[in-house]
Chains A and B, each alone.
Chain A
């Protein structure tokens, strides 16, 4: 080991000495860096977890890619089965299903609701959307037929509907029918399932029906509003988007899950950036702590610096020694901070429960934020960069003290009291 590094470590961990004033300074510096790394890893891992959670939900409920009509005057895909067949032939495509969406009036007794409708092709829906995993009551087997409706938990709660109950659905096309002198009759549907995706927008007031039923309600003929595509490799969505655009031509738009939920992802990204910006000052403060510590050490060790010079240490080696010492403080702080953050995240649920229990609002917190499921996602490259930035900052913070050490004249330093 080069002597500047050797001495740097020896000054932080003196041989045979349990505690010195210098050790106290170094400990505070290490804790400062550790605090910065801790907050950064915890906040970014949680934000990354939220991002990942939303990504999962977006992709699970809408597929990796969505195909829409590219014709502004005709927003329908007239031949969804033909388009699906073309898409299915492309390598990397795992499944395709057609869908339609809209609004309608749903009633149970005197309780009305105006839910979002998600209409899926019963034959192919499970290729893209894992409906089975969302169902909390009922089964899918043969239950997405033209007399059936699956309700979100929020909608079922609002209507007081249970499995097997009958509900009445009225399509918005009623206005057209009345204008044509017809007398529209609401369609009676049976509740065959209740689902929960964990995706608030979907769980609040959504009903799932078969695409055929929707085509009938909305008088779509054989058309659909779009197609959802599931990919074998989620990360290949950009390449597949490019390929599908080429294959399908201009008359159809191919959107990635990111483009589809652009606003939500932008907000999440902004939140993450803001938290990062709020955490960075802690890094900077820890840098100042290191500067102060190292300056105190340099001035309290003037005679030792003189001795090293007398023994043949070059000024550049003296400077290097203090920079390496800063780097070592950064590395130790980063390791302690990372260890602390991993421990915290491993026990986060217990910690949140404890804090929520103290406040007496445990249930509210759980209902409102789903806090017990605080999502965490580790991005190894990000964590590596946080560690590297901590070491770099600590090293840079030691540059001024290092220069001060290198500029000392050994003869004068040896004489100092």
Chain B
């Protein structure tokens, strides 16, 4: 795996937030490399900056210092529109609280991500249906998010993250709201589908057992990444 070129690289990332009169340093000089097909995990205490790191990597937030490179090209200071386009085409995001659009049914929620990436043809729809089958929800494609269980919602979110065949999937505690058995099946699904697609998976989790399945296991402590 390590022979493959780095697809996403973060170098010397630093980020702090202001809270009242205080400056809270969340990340300080953090480095990270992701390669196609890599499965990496990050653990850390609540508030240690795990979600902030994912936001920086996906371009949802800007670092104070340091840089992010995508396929060797620096993308740190791209415009919000350019960063959005990169997210739509190359990144898949999975959140702890699913974030499904309540007005859309299961199929439409998944298809929305491909629409945003500019794909709304029959092939995109076929891929949405294939992913639904893959996550075991082919019988719920007309169901509304409000009528799905937590596990089902997260499966939909996983399918949505993967519909555009992203090169990198960033999963922010995707099993945090699920019971043990459901969490196990959802994690298994994410890992398996990412591996099938050759996508790099960066999993942020509190669960040591899940984190231990990654090839590269990291811990975020004091704003820096260290081997777990």
Given contacts A17-B144, A311-B113, A312-B116, contact A10 B85 (CB under 8 A): no
Name B88's closest neighbour in chain A (CB-CB): A312
Q: Is the beta-carbon distance between B80 and A304 smaller than 8 angstroms? A: no
The answer to whether B196 has its CB under 8 Å from any CB of chain A is no
Name B84's closest neighbour in chain A (CB-CB): A314
Q: Is the beta-carbon distance between B84 and A307 smaller than 8 angstroms? A: no
Compute how far the CA of A410 lies from the CA of B144 in the bound complex, rounded to whole angstroms.
24
- The smallest C-beta distance from A298 to any residue of chain B, in angstroms, reads 15
The answer to whether B102 has its CB under 8 Å from any CB of chain A is yes
The SS class assigned to the A binding surface is helix
Q: Is the beta-carbon distance between B84 and A309 smaller than 8 angstroms? A: yes
- The smallest C-beta distance from A417 to any residue of chain B, in angstroms, reads 11
Given contacts A15-B144, A315-B84, A414-B99, contact A308 B116 (CB under 8 A): yes
The answer to whether A14 has its CB under 8 Å from any CB of chain B is yes
Give chain A residues whose Cβ lies under 8 Å from the Cβ of B48. none
Q: Is the beta-carbon distance between A3 and B116 smaller than 8 angstroms? A: yes
Give chain A residues whose Cβ lies under 8 Å from the Cβ of B105. 15-16
The answer to whether B178 has its CB under 8 Å from any CB of chain A is no
Residue tally, chain A, CB below 8 Å to B: 29
- Give the interface residue-count category, chain B: 20 to 34
Give chain B residues whose Cβ lies under 8 Å from the Cβ of A399. none
Give chain B residues whose Cβ lies under 8 Å from the Cβ of A307. 99, 101
**1/0 per position for B130-144, CB-CB distance to A under 8 A?**
000000000000101
10 nearest A-B residue pairs (beta carbon)? A312-B88, A14-B103, A3-B115, A411-B60, A312-B87, A314-B81, A307-B99, A314-B84, A411-B55, A15-B105
Q: Which residues of A contact B (CB under 8 A)?
A: 1-3, 6-7, 10-11, 14-17, 303-304, 306-317, 409-411, 414
List 24 interface pairs A-B (beta carbons < 8 Å), by A numbering.
A3-B112, A10-B104, A14-B103, A15-B104, A15-B105, A17-B102, A304-B101, A307-B99, A309-B84, A310-B93, A310-B99, A311-B113, A312-B86, A312-B89, A313-B88, A314-B81, A314-B84, A315-B81, A315-B84, A317-B116, A409-B61, A410-B60, A411-B61, A414-B60
